[in-house]
């Protein structure tokens, strides 16, 4: 049974930082694509960043490039999202997702992912 468990959300002021974690279990972690997605109230879910767990290739949405960084710890089957210089518009529920594929196109399309965590709330105040 695939499980993705997110943690690390919270409330911060603009300019602050948070690090989200996603612990994965129940599947072969080393040959998948994992991503972070977010959904603000009244908006569609959007891709933030993704990483191929096999070779470590990363992809980041233009809206967060230079501020957010995705990384992984293979020994812990965990993916991280380091979020710096947070803005009020980053406020959303953040979800971790995974798909058992070595090539995902487009890599930040939420419809390409079939395993999802429960989400963790990030709130950025001005």
Dihedral sign of CA atoms 106, 2, 6, 28 in order: negative
Contact 88, 125 (CB under 8 A): yes
Q: What pLDDT does 40 receive?
A: 97
Q: What pLDDT does 4 receive?
A: 96
How high is the mean pLDDT of the chain?
94
Q: What pLDDT does 86 receive?
A: 98
Tens of pLDDT, residues 68-93: 999 999 999 999 999 999 999 999 99
Mean pLDDT of 42-55: 95
Q: What pLDDT does 77 receive?
A: 92
How do 92-99 and 33-39 pair as beta strands?
Answer: antiparallel
């Amino acid at each position: 049974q695939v499980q993705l468990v997110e943690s690390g959300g919270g409330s911060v002021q603009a300019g602050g930082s948070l690090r989200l974690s996603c612990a994965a279990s129940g599947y072969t972690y080393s040959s998948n694509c994992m991503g972070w997605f977010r959904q603000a109230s009244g908006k569609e879910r959007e891709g933030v960043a993704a990483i191929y767990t096999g070779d470590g290739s990363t992809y980041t949405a233009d809206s967060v490039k230079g501020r957010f960084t995705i990384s992984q710890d293979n020994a812990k089957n965990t993916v991280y999202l380091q979020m710096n210089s947070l803005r009020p518009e980053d406020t959303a529920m953040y979800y971790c997702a995974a798909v058992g594929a070595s090539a995902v196109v487009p890599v930040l399309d939420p419809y390409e992912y079939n395993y999802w965590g429960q989400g963790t709330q990030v709130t950025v105040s001005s």
